[in-house]
Amino acid sequence: MVDTVKLAVIPGDGIGPEVVGQALKALAAATEGSGVVFEQTEFSLGAARYLATGDVLTDDDLAAITGHDAILLGAVGGVPGDPRLAGANIERGLLLKLRFELDHYVNLRPSVLYPGVASPLAAPGDVDFVVVREGTEGPYVGNGGAIRVGTPAEVANEVSVNTAYGVERVVRYAFAAASARPRKKLTLVHKTNVLVFAGSLWKRTVDAVAAEFPGVTADYLHVDAATIFLVTDPARFDVIVTDNLFGDILTDLAGAISGGIGLAASGNINPDGRFPSMFEPVHGSAPDIAGQGVADPTAAILSVALLLDHLGRAEAAQKVQRAVVADIAERGDTRRSTSEVGDAIAARIGA
C-alpha cells in the first residue's frame, strides 16, 4: 500500500529555492521504498512573486495550500531596503499570515549543539533543548495602530493579545513534549513583573497544567534572565515555553549559541491536524549570498526531519537526523557548495 502525502512547497526568495532543493533530495532519499509518496505542488510566493504580480498571498493561494497535508518553506523576503518592496510587508502578509490562518499555534524550535559544531560560547556544555514558541497570539497579532502619523504628536500602539484558549493549548503541548524527554523539565519564560496581565495568565496556566503532569519539573524565568542563562549555562534548559515575541528573540539567540541559525530548523505546527503544518529553516532569505550555491542547506534538511516526525514517519525522520549529525561531525572547515552538502547528506540517508 502506498500512502500519498500532499506537500506544498514554497521555495521563496534568495537562498530559499537553493536550500529547499536539497531538502527535497533528503526527503526523497529518506522515504524511498518506504511506502509513502510525496506529491509536491510548488507555490511561487515571496518578494519575487510580489514584484511580478503585486500579490503577496491571494485567497486562492491560501485555499490551495490549505488543501495540502504539509508545507515545506525555504525563506521569503527581498533585498532589505529595495524601494519596490516598501509598500509590501512580505513577513506579515505571507509568513505570519500562513502561521495565523493555518492556526500554527506551536512554533517548535529545537536547539542542539551537535558534535563537531563550534559554538561562540567558550564552554557551552551539553546543549539540547527545544523552544515551544506560541505562534498565533501575543504582540504578533497585528493589533496595533497609530494616530497623527508623521507629526510631533504621533502615537503608535501595539497590543499583545493573550487568551486562556491560546495559552493553555500551547502550554499543554509543551508539557507533553517535556514529559516525553528524558529530563522532563519545563521553563516558562515571560516578563511577569512588568507585563502583569499577560504574565499572570501565562503563569497561572503553567501552574494549572503542571498539576496534570506531575512527572515534569516546571520553573520560571524572566526573559531578560533567560538570555543570561542561554550564554552562561544553556545546558540547564530542556523545554522552554514562551510567547510569540519572546520566542522569536530566544530562538535566534539559541540558534546562535548552538552553531548558528544555518543549522536551526523549525516547525509551525497545528497539532489538531485541522490545517497543514509548515516546516522551515529559522534563517532568512539571505539575498546577499543568493544564487551563488554557497548557502548551507542543513537547517532546511533538518526541517524535513521535523516534517517527517510530524507526519508520523519517525523512522524516516531519524534517518535524516542521523545523516545530518554524521555529516556535521565530519564537516571540519571544508567549504562545500549547497548541493555538495545536500548530496552528501542524501547519500548517507540512502546508505
Binding-site entries for substrate: 99, 109, 133, 224
* Residue 256 site contact among its own copies, ligand IPM, none (CB < 5 to 8 Å, cut-off depends on kind): its own copies
Cβ count within 10 A of residue 224: 11
* Residue 217 site contact among ligand IPM, its own copies, none (CB < 5 to 8 Å, cut-off depends on kind): none
Query: How buried is 316 (Cβ within 10 angstroms: 0-12 exposed, 13-18 middle, 19+ buried)?
Result: buried
User: Is residue 37 close enough to count as binding its own copies by CB under 8 A?
Assistant: no
DSSP 54: S
Contacts with ligand IPM by CB under 6 A: the residue count is 8
User: Is residue 302 close enough to count as binding ligand IPM by CB under 6 A?
Assistant: no
Residue 208 parent element (H or E): helix 196-210
Instruction: Provide the mask over 145-174, with x wherever binding to its own copies is found by CB under 8 A and - wherever it is not.
Output: xx-xxxxxxxxxxxxxxxxxx--x------
C-beta closer to its own copies: residue 39 or 91: 91
- CA separation, residue 320 to residues 299, 312, 325, 326 (Å): 12, 14, 9, 10
Q: Which of 13, 18, 248, 327 binds its own copies (CB under 8 A)?
A: 248
What are the two backbone dihedrals, phi and then psi, of residue 106, each rounded to the nearest 5 degrees?
-115, 120
Mark 276-297 as b/e (b = at least 16 C-beta within 10 Å).
Answer: bbbbbbbbbbbbeebeeeebbb
| Minimum gap (Å) between residue 87 Cβ and its own copies | 12
Which triple of cell numbers denotes residue 59?
Answer: 485567497
Query: CB–CB of 168/175 below 8 Å?
Result: no
Cβ count within 10 A of residue 142: 13
In sequence order, what DSSP letters do the residues of 293-330 get, joined into one string? T----HHHHHHHHHHHHHTT-HHHHHHHHHHHHHHHHT
Please report, in angstroms and rounded to a whole number, the separation of the first and last CA atoms in the chain: 24
User: Is residue 139 close enough to count as binding its own copies by CB under 8 A?
Assistant: yes
Segment near ligand IPM (CB under 6 A), from 52-60, 90-98, 172-180, 204-212?
A: 90-98
C-beta closer to its own copies: residue 150 or 215: 150
Q: Which of 32, 39, 91, 330 binds its own copies (CB under 8 A)?
A: 91
Segment near ligand IPM (CB under 6 A), from 91-99, 160-168, 169-177, 286-294?
A: 91-99
User: Is residue 224 close enough to count as binding ligand IPM by CB under 6 A?
Assistant: yes
User: Is residue 255 close enough to count as binding its own copies by CB under 8 A?
Assistant: yes
Instruction: Provide the mask over 186-205, with x wherever binding to its own copies is found by CB under 8 A and - wherever it is not.
Output: -----x-xxxxxx-xx--x-
Mark 235-267 as b/e (b = at least 16 C-beta within 10 Å).
Answer: ebbbbbbbbbbbbbebbebbbbbbbbbbbbbbb
| Catalytic center residues | 140, 191, 224, 248, 252
User: Is residue 158 close enough to count as binding ligand IPM by CB under 6 A?
Assistant: no
| Minimum gap (Å) between residue 275 Cβ and its own copies | 21
In sequence order, what DSSP letters do the residues of 14-28 get, joined into one string? TTHHHHHHHHHHHHH
What is the Cβ-side half-sphere exposure of residue 252, based on CA atoms within 13 angstroms? 7
C-beta closer to its own copies: residue 197 or 291: 197
DSSP 9: E
C-beta closer to its own copies: residue 7 or 167: 167
Residues found near ligand IPM in the complex (CB under 6 A): 91, 95-96, 193-194, 224, 248, 282
Residues found near its own copies in the complex (CB under 8 A): 89, 91-92, 96, 119-123, 139-140, 142, 144-146, 148-165, 168, 191, 193-198, 200-201, 204, 223-225, 227-228, 230-232, 245, 248-249, 251-253, 255-257, 260-261
